[in-house]
Structure 1
Amino acid sequence: MMVCHCMAISDRDIRAAVDWMRAADPDTIITPGKIYRALGKKAECGGCLPVFMDTMRQCDSFEVPEILRGLRRVTAKETSDERRRKGH
């Protein structure tokens, strides 16, 4: 199935790139940008990203590396002021 018409990227291309990256480095974080670079392409309009992301997530080898699972998430309250002093 064609996922990105602008760059002619299919679901097979995405799966192959994810598998290749995971085989090269089991602890890597796989992002859409890394997949585009692995395929030698650049994102154009971004209209494909929802389908692109769904295709990535469906890959068997896409899972988050074990070492990064369970990391604490930052709450909205902690990021709202970014620890800036008043007046900035």
Structure 2
Amino acid sequence: MIVCHCTQISDHDIRAAVDWMRASDPATIITPGKIYRALGKRADCGGCMPLFLDTMRGCDNLAVPPILRGLKANRTEVSHEGRRESHRVSQRSSAV
């Protein structure tokens, strides 16, 4: 089935690109932009994006790699990028 008429991308092309990317780098995050690049094409009008995303989500190899799952949940909360609050520019008074 043709998913993108502008660039002639089929559902088979999307699945093959996802499988190829996952095989070449198991830890990669697969995005629509990466799929377009892997196919040597780029998005044109964007009308296909809902069907494109549905086709991507239907791929078995699209899942987030196990090594990247739960990183946010396991991360300890570090506020202000490790700086004290007195060093935050947005909190300083503007009196000079």
TM-score after normalising by structure 2: 0.74
Hey, what's the Cα distance between the residues in 2 that align with 1:17 and 1:70?
A: 25
Provide Cα deviations, 1:19-51, integer angstroms capped at 9, x if missing partner. 000000010110000000000001001111111
| Structure (1 or 2) with the greater helix fraction | 2
Q: Which consecutive residues of structure 1, in runs of 5 or more, have no partner in the other structure?
A: 74-82
Q: State, as a whole percentage, how many aligned pairs show the same letter.
A: 72
Displaced runs of 4 or more, over 4 A: none
Q: State the 1:13 CA deviation.
A: 0.2
Q: State the 1:84 CA deviation.
A: 6.4
For the pair 1:31 / 2:31, whether they are aligned, the reply is yes
Q: State the 1:72 CA deviation.
A: 2.3
Is the partner of 2:62 in helix, strand or coil?
Answer: coil
TM-score after normalising by structure 1: 0.81
Alignment coverage as a number of residue pairs: 79
- Code of the residue aligned with 1:62 in structure 2: it is L
Instruction: Identify if the C-alpha distance between structure 1 residues 19 and 85 changes in structure 2 by more than 3 Å, giving closer, same or farther.
Output: same
- Code of the residue aligned with 1:38 in structure 2: it is A
Larger Rg: 2
Q: Which consecutive residues of structure 2, in runs of 5 or more, have no partner in the other structure?
A: 74-87
Q: Which residue of 2 is the match for residue 78 of structure 1?
A: none
- Code of the residue aligned with 2:5 in structure 1: it is H
Q: CA RMSD in A?
A: 1.9
Q: Which residue of 2 is the match for residue 14 of structure 1?
A: 14
